[in-house]
A and B are shown apart, each in its own frame.
Chain A
């Protein structure tokens, strides 16, 4: 992954967050993706989400697999450790990292190639475990680095740049996430910062696995007429179902929403996610409703977006494993070593 150091030029009077940090303190090295790539907008949204939540950059961990999207972990939070792992295997690496220290904030970045083909098993199993992370799937329907092959999210009838037509049905990460037991299922668009930033914030604060499928067009290989993952196509069929906002524990709910339309969901940290239903008859806390709504939107040729499903009641992986608040990597050996006396006792049965 190529990366250049981005010069940091301090701005006078730039706004700061609760830690006194400026937005640019959440940047990373310079992107080497193509000009206009949807992924760069997503990178900016991720950095903004961390900035607005005032998470110390070095208390975050960034993980990714292989591909254009996976490169982007170098382009934000330069003070955070990052791991650019192997193709499709980021979820397992992240799972182990989370077990070693559940106290940090984990964000994974992947793409449709990395997640829906080679990595489909690991992604679904991380969802089953309800590993506490945000998983941003930058979805453009195409393999970019290898120059334009269809990915598993390409729609039937969508054409490649050179004219080939995709005949296989697409895998929808949101449908699969619902089936695998994910507790936070969202879809968004790299071109809609207003929707995306609050979604990432809500996902970061959700205690469990949060998947955000972000339509993020590939300007080099999949932004042509006939592609169903182009900017033009996405704008045309974009449909917002549920808007989500994160409200920190101390803040009062200040909202313009009409009473009855807003559904607050209490989080583990005392904060809340406010769900604003743009479709009045949709209940995002119902798995069945989310299923049928997403399936119906396909027939209606809509790209259904927003926080499509949320369940705050399931225990996350660390809780299921009865882990302490003290990270495993900080427990002194004196507490881990049973000692020679215990060894004598437990060998009695071997005599």
Chain B
């Protein structure tokens, strides 16, 4: 056995390469859940193709006793189940790593690398001998590699059995066969190889009070708790599971116990344009309304977004970002809609955007997004991404504040309308730039005409320059004032005074934090501010101005976040240094660590030559 330099007990990465559509997802989840239940933190990443069946797909499980949330960039145990991707899988394995393959068929080229250990297990032939039905042989092969991994990594077989029993709670007769398949892999490895591997799992107590959940499910549940009653959508990867989540929890929690009637409405629209229109119509009519989509959908919705901005209707657009432009890579992740969501639609438009970083924030920020949308009567974007939305993350168990009351903003009731002489939709009565709205059917005095054409503060059509300008000037003040109400940035101060800082958003958080820890161990200290919303509060500008240089780390080609900071704060362009990763995989700390090391070296060089 070669020595694995970058791996250790409770600190390594398993990657499983399989064929899409062969049922490996549940086996991979079983493997990850087993480690989680042994009390050891895990990070799971599904790297899948835009395909229903046949193309290569991978699942990566990082075992991290330290509890880091990002990828590492290494692969220590490669379970290569797909001949199509053997070459790539072999090449990706870190030096000193272990390759597990189905040795039913000989694969001499695996011996081409002398710096790895190859472990062959005749998974197919064992399963073909043990099971009758062709489809079940394929599924059982998955369970058999779980057994093989369990032997190599010293996993708790009782926990595996418990999870298998849970998986087949409703099809009990499948339990013995699945247990048998696990045993086939486990026993073969035990008999033929020295186990466990030097890198393996050792039970800890670090997952108590934690859950494993994906961001879309958590966001869908967040919509239920926020009191959303209307959702319209058009299917698009990677946002579809958000509406699936909302629908599932509504079916469980939102059906009237006596009448059996739904206290929610979900409409699958004919396209994203219609989805945006429906959500806006429902919001205008007083429902908490949202539509989930991805960047391509936001492009299509842009016309309605401008209408909602100008006519001041508050609703929430969930953008689960995927790789663009155009169709791009629909099953890969990026932070490429930062610009799009900040300014979506034609004309002068600026929006409120929240940037959740993990499923826990997806849950709470869903409610924040609705509160902001209704308080400020404006579109609010919830900018998540495929990594957050579709991967299982370990986070603290979700909690809900029982004292939460939705902020519905200024809605004038029938009684209030009776008190006033005349209702005027866009009048800033309170001096906070936010006018009052009324709901249809409330009172004869409350009627107003919603229009995307030029209107004055009284809500009437106008083409008079001053009247037009007065309204759009109030809109920008309203938007700016939201900076104090949005989720505020989180600053992680370095242990020592740091001349340099880092700014990042969303799913970059795990990799950035880990890179900071590694650098701190090397004596390099950096302050880190994670932005959580746009417009940027004053503290963002202050953070940048209080550092000599700030590294802006983001997952897109065009430095969208950095450019937004330059455009929307008073900071000097030269005070920012861009670090970008945009290849579509979830960000790993090794990339961030290397990029920061390189940039710091450059700065040090410049200083010397200056």
* Interchain CB contact (< 8 A) of B273 among A89, A336, A339: A89
User: Does A321 lie at the interface of the complex (its beta carbon under 8 Å from any beta carbon of B)?
Assistant: yes
* A117 in the interface (beta carbon within 8 A): no
Residues of A within 8 A of B273 (CB): 89, 92, 122
9 intermolecular pairs with C-beta atoms under 8 Å apart: A84-B451, A95-B232, A100-B282, A121-B274, A129-B267, A329-B286, A337-B225, A338-B225, A340-B400
B83 vs chain A, min Cβ distance (A): 35
Contact (Cβ within 8 A) B262 A95: no
B37's nearest neighbour on chain A, judged by CB, is A351
Binds A, one of B119-127, B133-141, B436-444, B563-571: B436-444
- With A89-B277, A343-B398 known to touch, is A329 a contact of B229 (CB < 8 Å)? yes
Q: Which of A55-63, A171-179, A191-199, A276-284 participates in binding chain B?
A: A55-63
A329 → B minimal CB distance (Å): 3
Is A18 in the interface zone, CB < 8 Å from B? Answer: no
Nearest CB in chain B: distance from A195 CB, A: 29
Check if B447 is an interface residue, CB within 8 A of chain A. Answer: yes
The answer to whether B174 has its CB under 8 Å from any CB of chain A is no
Interface residues contributed by chain B, number (CB under 8 Å): 77
A2: B residues at CB distance < 8 A: 461, 463
The stretch of B8-16, B186-194, B253-261, B509-517 in contact with A is: B253-261
Residue of B whose beta carbon sits closest to that of A124: B270
Chain A residue at minimal CB-CB distance from B276: A92
Q: In the complex the two chains form, what is the Cα distance from A57 to B267 in whole Å?
A: 28
B285 touches A97 (CB 8 A): yes
Closest 5 CB pairs of A and B: A92-B277, A96-B281, A329-B286, A96-B278, A96-B282
Whether B253 contacts A96 by the Cβ 8 Å rule is: no
Q: How far is the CB of B453 from chain A (nearest CB, A)?
A: 6
Cβ contacts under 8 Å, A339 to chain B: 400, 402
Interface check B583, CB cutoff 8 A: no
| A343 CA to B402 CA, complexed, in Å | 11
Tell me, rounded to whole Å, the shortest Cβ–Cβ distance linking B263 to chain A: 6
- Which of A57, A82, A347, A351 has most chain B Cβ within 10 Å? A351
Contacts of A79 in B (CB 8 A): 444-445, 447
Smallest beta-carbon distance A127→chain B, Å: 11
Q: Is the beta-carbon distance between A84 and B211 smaller than 8 angstroms?
A: no
Q: How many A-B residue pairs have CB under 8 A?
A: 223
- Contact in complex: A86, B452 (CB < 8 Å): yes
Is B289 a contact of A100 with CB atoms below 8 Å?
A: yes
Residue on A nearest B275 in the bound complex, by CB: A92
- Complex CA gap A150/B399 in Å reads 59
Which residues of A are found within 8 Å of B309, using beta-carbon distances? none
Residues of B within 8 A of A59 (CB): 441
B285–A333 contact, CB under 8 A? no
- What's the minimum C-beta distance from B405 to chain A, rounded to whole angstroms? 7
Inter-subunit contact B281/A324 (CB<8 Å): no
On whether the beta carbons of A89 and B303 are closer than 8 Å, the reply is: yes
User: Are A85 and B277 CB-contacts (below 8 A) given A329-B229, A343-B400, A347-B397?
Assistant: yes
Interface string of B445-463 (1 = CB under 8 A from A): 1111111110000001101
**Contacting pair A58 B442 (CB below 8 A):** yes
Given A85-B452, A89-B304, A100-B287: A322 in contact with B262 (beta carbons within 8 A): yes
Contact A101 B285 (CB under 8 A): yes
Q: Is there a chain B Cβ closer than 8 Å to A165's Cβ?
A: no
| CB-contact partner of A96 in B37, B279, B444, under 8 A | B279
Most buried by B among A85, A125, A347: A85
Q: Return A332 CB to nearest CB of chain B, in Å.
A: 9
Please report the C-alpha to C-alpha distance between residue A84 and residue B402 in the assembled complex, in whole angstroms.
Answer: 40
Given that A86-B304, A333-B405 are known contacts, is A92 also in contact with B269, CB under 8 Å in the complex? yes
Q: Which residue of B lies closest to A350 (CB)?
A: B211
Q: How far is the CA of A42 from the CA of B264 in the complex (A)?
A: 36
Taking CB as reference atom, which chain A residue is nearest B405? A333
| B265 close to chain A: CB less than 8 A | yes
Chain B residues with CB under 8 A of A94: 281
B307 is contacted by which of A86, A97, A323, A329 (Cβ under 8 Å)? A86
| Shortest distance from the beta carbon of A328 to any chain B beta carbon, whole Å | 4
Is B271 located at the chain interface by the 8 A CB criterion?
yes
- How distant is the Cα of A331 from the Cα of B606 in the complex, in angstroms? 63
Q: Which of A3, A84, A93, A94 has the most CB of B within 10 A?
A: A93
Any B CB within 8 A of the CB of A33: no
CA distance A297 to B402 in the complex (A): 65
Q: Does B489 contact A (CB under 8 A)?
A: no
For A344, the chain B residues whose CB sits under 8 A away are 397
Q: Which of A80, A95, A324 contacts B278 (CB 8 A)?
A: A95
Contact: B270 with A121, CB < 8 Å? Answer: yes
With known contacts A93-B280, A100-B281, A350-B213, A323–B451 Cβ distance under 8 A: no
| Any B CB within 8 A of the CB of A81 | yes
Question: Beyond A82-B449, A103-B441, A321-B267, is A336–B274 a contact (Cβ under 8 Å)?
Answer: no
- Inter-chain contact B304/A100, CB cutoff 8 Å: no
